[in-house]
Amino acid sequence: MLKVDTINTYYGSSHILQDVSLTVNQGEVVALLGRNGVGKTTTMRSIMGLTPPRSGEVYYCGHKINTLPPYRINRLGIGYVPEDRQVFPDLTVEENLLVAQRSRNSKKGEEWTREKVYELFPELAKMPNRLAGRMSGGEQQMLTIARTLVGNPDLLLLDEPSEGLAPKVVLNLLDVLKVIKKSISILLAEQNAVFALSLADRCYIMEKGKTVYEAAAEEIRENKDIQKKYLIF
Amino acid sequence: MEDQFLILLNGLSFAMLLFLVSVGFTLQFSVLGVLNLAHGSFYMLGVFLAITVAMFMGNYAGNFWIGLLLAPLLVAAFGAFLEWSLLRRIYIRDVLFQYLFTYTWILIIDDLVLMIWGARYSIISLPPIFSAPVNFLGVTFSSYRLFIILLGLLVAGLLWFFLQKTKAGMIVRAASVNREMVGALGVNTPLLFTAVFALGAWLAGVGGVLVAPLQTAYAGMGLDIIVDCFIVVVIGGMGSIKGAFWAALTLGMLRAFGIAYVPQVEMALSYLLMAVILIIRPRGFFGREEA
Ligand SMILES: Nc1ncnc2c1ncn2[C@@H]1O[C@H](COP(=O)(O)OP(=O)(O)OP(=O)(O)O)[C@@H](O)[C@H]1O
Ligand SMILES: [Mg+2]
């Protein structure tokens, strides 16, 4: 479904991603693990077209997308949930959803409407007219996910959704993502490996702009050496 | 008492003109992130196009209305073309390039106006239905200026409705805080930018046409109004539509009452107000707090 092929991405003149390759198959949850600053967010931004790679290719469902603008990439079916939430603070919950709402033909019958999203996030249903800027971090995290869902993506890029959330909220988030993953493939960037591994089918570990290890989630859950080596727990 | 009311009405009509022009300027800035220094030149184009329409139509009574319909549309089309062909290439550049670029267009448009319309100073006559003053709440007031006040309020109301109640308006508000995210959510941002720039230019054009019967037109009048736009935007808060409305009102009143009571220093008053605001509330009435 998604194939990232030896991409190199720069911020100005600093070379961040070095020959990163990865794939996400239909129906899969793939975790991108690694410590602070290894390039997880940059990988997401490269796929989304926000920081296009300078070399290498990205393919999505047969389309070459690494030269497309972000809005075209989104319309092909990739939804992006940024790491720092980036809700629209001056807009209400409902308005945040309206801005992102987009129906796609491939999804007829099983679309994420605002009603369905409110069912999944009952906290949001209680405050449709609250300004997003006035919500708690956990509520904002739910809203960014909800906002991306109503765009009806087939693949979700989720960047550190558990970051800065209280343990109880993280558990709640886990439940939500378990529902979402039934119908949407997910590429999940996380520092919190325990969280990521409880969702993922497959993992990549990144170090200094490179993917250095790839394995089934199960394997990493059981292999203490790998856990120690990459210090991801 | 009657005198004060008359001054107030005059101030209101000036405020509405100022609002129409500066709201376009602030809207463009909030969504595109570019301060369009040539915005005043779009206003000037509105004035001159209205003059041309009036000349074409001769004494036909409807010429003003046709100008009011056509000229802003032409200005908007020109704005859309400029954004689409050139301006969008410099969004990623340093703001200095952006200033340089939009400043260049002040010079180009001034020269274009000199080439096409010449250095003559011209003014068009008031549309016939406004030839007589009206009695408004006990004072005799220019019916044309009353029309400007009502039209300004109407446009303000429509803008409010568009921004608050329509999906396109919500997208505009969202883009004004986070362009990148709006694009990542599937909004065609290049098209959005062109549309917002065109809307800003259209508003400048409307302001220009409304001024055409009141003031003689001259190449360079764009620079004069852009200074006022700046004051409005600084006082009201960068990128704030609501701010532009209240700041334009404040400035309009200040000017009207200034001319009436302290004509010697009237010119300085608006700058003084801006300085005071910058000191006590640097982000203006409704500006966003710096993150
Ligand atoms: N806008 C930028 N300009 C320059 N360098 C940047 C920029 N953003 C990130 N970097 C650098 O790129 C590298 C990778 O950053 P990235 O945000 O992709 O890491 P990450 O794995 O997402 O980290 P985190 O877990 O902290 O989110 C870091 O060294 C960072 O300093
Ligand atoms: Mg990151």
| DSSP 3-state of B74 | helix
**Per-residue pLDDT reduced to its tens digit, B66-81:** 999 999 999 999 999 9
Mean pLDDT computed over B211-233 = 92
Within 10 A of B137 (CB to CB), how many other CB atoms are there? 8
Mean pLDDT computed over B244-249 = 95
What's the pTM? 0.93
Q: Which residues of B touch A11 (CB under 8 A)?
A: none
Task: State the nearest Cα–Cα gap between A220 and chain B, in angstroms.
Answer: 32
How far is the C-alpha of A47 from the C-alpha of A194, rounded, in Å? 25
**Domain A2-230 annotated CATH 3.40.50.720:** no
Say how many Å lie between the CA of residue A160 and the centre of ligand 2. Answer: 7
Q: In sequence order, which residues have a C-beta less than 8 Å from that of residue A68 and are 6 or more positions away?
A: A49, A76
B36 contacts B203 by C-beta, under 8 angstroms: no
Is a pLDDT exceeding 50 seen at residue A106? yes
Ligand nearest to the CA of A39: 1
Place of tokens 């340093």: B94
Using CB atoms within 10 A of its CB, is residue A226 exposed (0-12), middle (13-18) or buried (19+)?
middle
Is a pLDDT exceeding 90 seen at residue A105? no
Beta strands in B101-247 (DSSP E): 134-136, 139-141
Say how many Å lie between the CA of residue A42 and the centre of ligand 1. Answer: 6
Cα dihedral A153, A154, A157, A160 sign: positive
**Per-residue pLDDT reduced to its tens digit, A66-99:** 999 999 999 999 999 999 889 999 999 999 999 9
Q: What is the 3-state secondary structure (H, E, C) of A142-177?
A: HHHHHHHHCCCCCEEEEECCCCCCCHHHHHHHHHHH
Phi first, then psi, for residue A135 (nearest 5°) are: -95, 165
Say if the Cβ atoms of B184 and A102 lie within 8 Å: no
Using CB atoms within 10 A of its CB, is residue B6 exposed (0-12), middle (13-18) or buried (19+)?
middle
Measured from CB, residues less than 6 Å from any atom of ligand 1 are A 11, 14, 16, 34, 36-42, 83, 160, 191
CB contacts < 8 A, A to B, total: 61
Say if the Cβ atoms of B170 and A102 lie within 8 Å: no
DSSP B219: T
B145 contacts B13 by C-beta, under 8 angstroms: yes
Q: State chain A's maximal CA–CA distance in angstroms.
A: 50
Task: State the nearest Cα–Cα gap between B153 and chain A, in angstroms.
Answer: 24
What's the token pair of residue A62? 């047969």
**Per-residue pLDDT reduced to its tens digit, B137-157:** 888 999 999 999 999 999 999
How far is the C-alpha of B207 from the C-alpha of B215, rounded, in Å? 12
B173, B180, B185 ranked by CB distance to A151: nearest = B185
Amino acid (1-letter code) at residue A151: G
Output the pLDDT for position B291.
42
Say if the Cβ atoms of A98 and B182 lie within 8 Å: no
Write the DSSP assignment of A53-93 as a string of letters. Answer: -SEEEEEETTEE-TTS-HHHHHHHTEEEE-TT----TTSBH
Say how many Å lie between the CA of residue A84 and the centre of ligand 1. Answer: 13
Per the DSSP assignment, residues forming a β-bridge with A202 are A30, A216
Domain ranges of chain A: 2-230
Question: Minimal CA–CA distance to A157: which of A123, A133, A180?
Answer: A180
| DSSP 3-state of A23 | strand
**Per-residue pLDDT reduced to its tens digit, B83-137:** 999 999 998 888 899 999 999 999 999 999 999 988 777 888 888 889 899 998 8
**Could you give the dihedral angle defined by the CA atoms of residues A152, A156, A160 and A161, in that order, rounded to the nearest 10 degrees?**
30
Say if the Cβ atoms of A74 and B181 lie within 8 Å: no
Is a pLDDT exceeding 90 seen at residue A186? yes
Per the DSSP assignment, residues forming a β-bridge with B141 are B134
Domain ranges of chain B: 2-119+128-280
Amino acid (1-letter code) at residue A33: L
